[in-house]
Structure 1
Amino acid sequence: MILVTGATGQFGSKAVEHLLKNGVEPSTIAVLVRNSNKAKDLEKGIDVRQGDYTDHSSMVKAFTGVDKLLLVSSNNREAIENRTQHHKNAINAAREAGVNHIVYTSFVRKPGFEDSAIADFQKSHLETEKHLAESGLDYTILQNGIYAEMIMAFLGDKVAETKSILFPAGKGKARWVLREELAEAAAHVLITEGHENKIYTLTNSEAVDFEFVAQNISEILGKEIEYKSPSINEFNAILQKAKVPEMYIDMLTMWGTALKQQVMDKEDDTLASFLKREPTSVRQYLENYFRK
């Protein structure tokens, strides 16, 4: 039995889809959800189990009879420490329930990450990885690259109207990856052998910056899109004037700074080998986004 956590979320649901596409019988797939009403769209035959990262007994019950567990990292929007504890709780419950192998969705990491703008976020994943490695269970850690879908989340939906991109990422490059292709890779690890106690970096074959993004959007739309990378103070002032909530300003500043520091451009060809093809390029992603 394979169990996928967060199966009603964007990553977990795609992982389940790819398990089914690869011929895994629905009756051998279970999912952990907080609200079973949200799992109505899952394929008939999949075992829907209710549980919560903060409720140990519910997770032990849900994980009973499971051989492999895909632990999709928590998307808790509160303190980062909450996410870390959620992961530890799930690992502890899995061990008690007799799970044999946990596949954990972590995040790409490079040497020197401790000094980056996303250091706390990275340390949370590192702490989870350490707890998992010390659990006594077989594990596979997927250090996923930054989602390509975040490009437009950072830019907003008015790029075509304003003809400009305002983001404090400088010339920093990253190896953006489609969330769905990372979920496809996770499904591959779950149904193939030889991944015990391995750590994989899953990133794209190309590293691009926001100049590249602006040039490609310009070509796709047939209009000149200008990329501006202001200082953090300028960026904050512009967003504050536009009455953007402080929480979002902090988030955009953090990720823009991290991209400028180039902490997400780690080169690795593992994802391509798992997919048996080159990952979708940023150019392809942008074409699909603007021409949909």
Structure 2
Amino acid sequence: MILITGATGNFGSKAIQHLLNKGVAAKDIAALVRDGEDAQPLKDKGIQVRMGDYADVESMRKAFAGVDKLLLISSSDRGPVENRTKHHINAITAAKDANVQHIAYTSFVRKPGYEASAIADFENSHVASEKFLKESGIKYTILQNGIYQEMILAFIGEKVAETGTILFPAAGGKASWVLREELAEAAVNVLTTEGHENRTYNLTHNASVGFEEIANYISEAVGQEIKYLSPKVEEFKAILEKAGVPELYIGMFVMWGTAVAEGMMDLEDTTLESLLGRKPTTVQQFIEQVYKTVSVENIH
């Protein structure tokens, strides 16, 4: 039995579909969800839906009964970063109590110097979670995932074609952007094949890309020039505040933009390609796919 946490989320739902695509029987897949109302499509496929919450060890202990392998998708809690660490420790504790044999954990790409970077707190949560998992005695695979290509769309905004400009404080930094769909597929390949126990994998792209290149790709896709401007952080904050962007999102954009500028996600690696058995989708292919059916007039 393989259980996927966060099963109705973007990553979890994709992982379940990849399990089914690989021929894993629905009866051998379990899904951990907090809200049963969202889980009906999973039930319709014959997947076992189990209720549980990262904040409630006992609920997960019950949900993990009879599970051999667990895909522990990292918490998306938007509160203090300590919440995420506690959520992961709770899940690992419950898994050990339920005698789960193998946990694959979705961590994040990490480079030397992260302790002084804009994403230090975020990284420290994963470091603490990885340490707890390794010391639990459960067989593990740590998936240090790269930043999602889908995040590019959040960073550049929805009005790129209107304004002709990408405004983001990433300077000349690059990142090894990866498609979430392919990270989910790689996680499933780890869970369904042998030889991955007690391993840590860097699942990043084999080519890093910066926002100058992203601007060029969008220019080609929409048929007009798109420029990239990297303002100073305080100027960027002021622009977003004036536009009425919520403070939570301003903080998030500044954190990730600064981290890209610092090179914290620029780590080229071929492990993802090996696990997929093919070259991963490039940023240029992703951009083309996003914009290919959208005319300039329809981009809002």
How far off its partner does 1:44 sit? 2.3
| CA–CA separation in structure 2 for the residues paired with 1:69 and 1:248 | 31
Partner of 2:169: 168
Q: Does 1:13 align with 2:13?
A: yes
For the residue of structure 1 that corresponds to 2:105, the secondary structure is strand
How far off its partner does 1:49 sit? 0.4
How far off its partner does 1:157 sit? 0.6
How far off its partner does 1:100 sit? 0.5
How far off its partner does 1:41 sit? 1.1
| CA–CA separation in structure 1 for the residues paired with 2:45 and 2:147 | 32
For the residue of structure 2 that corresponds to 1:53, the secondary structure is coil
| CA–CA separation in structure 2 for the residues paired with 1:240 and 1:74 | 28
Q: Does 1:31 align with 2:23?
A: no
Alignment of 1:63-78 (within 5 A): 63-78=64-79
Partner of 2:254: 253
For the residue of structure 2 that corresponds to 1:41, the secondary structure is helix
| CA–CA separation in structure 1 for the residues paired with 2:57 and 2:241 | 41
Identity of aligned residues (%): 63
List alignment gaps of at least 5 residues for structure 1: none
Q: Does 1:280 align with 2:294?
A: no
For the residue of structure 1 that corresponds to 2:89, the secondary structure is helix
Partner of 1:109: 110
For the residue of structure 2 that corresponds to 1:13, the secondary structure is helix
Partner of 1:135: 136
Partner of 2:197: 196
Deviations 1:161-194 (A, max 9, x none): 1110000000000010000000000000000001
Q: Does 1:88 align with 2:93?
A: no
| CA–CA separation in structure 1 for the residues paired with 2:55 and 2:184 | 24
| CA–CA separation in structure 1 for the residues paired with 2:22 and 2:248 | 40
Poorly superposed stretches of 4+, deviation over 2 Å: none
How far off its partner does 1:24 sit? 0.4
For the residue of structure 2 that corresponds to 1:102, the secondary structure is strand
Deviations 1:170-225 (A, max 9, x none): 00000100000000000000000011100000011110100000011111111011
How far off its partner does 1:50 sit? 0.4
Partner of 1:181: 182
| CA–CA separation in structure 2 for the residues paired with 1:251 and 1:17 | 30
Alignment of 1:30-49 (within 5 A): 30-42=30-42, 43-49=44-50
Deviations 1:53-105 (A, max 9, x none): 11111111000100000000011111110011000000000000110110000
For the residue of structure 2 that corresponds to 1:265, the secondary structure is coil
For the residue of structure 2 that corresponds to 1:40, the secondary structure is helix
Q: Which amino acid aligns with 1:26?
A: A
Q: Which amino acid aligns with 2:4?
A: V
List alignment gaps of at least 5 residues for structure 2: 294-300
How many matched pairs?
A: 292
Partner of 2:121: 120
Q: Structure 1 length normalisation: TM-score?
A: 0.99
How far off its partner does 1:242 sit? 1.4
Deviations 1:124-171 (A, max 9, x none): 001000000000110000000000000011111100111100000000
| CA–CA separation in structure 2 for the residues paired with 1:242 and 1:38 | 33
Partner of 1:208: 209
| CA–CA separation in structure 2 for the residues paired with 1:214 and 1:66 | 46
Q: Which moved more, 1:120-129 or 1:237-246?
A: 237-246
RMSD: 0.7
Deviations 1:5-57 (A, max 9, x none): 00000000000000100000101000100011111112522110001111111
| CA–CA separation in structure 2 for the residues paired with 1:227 and 1:182 | 28
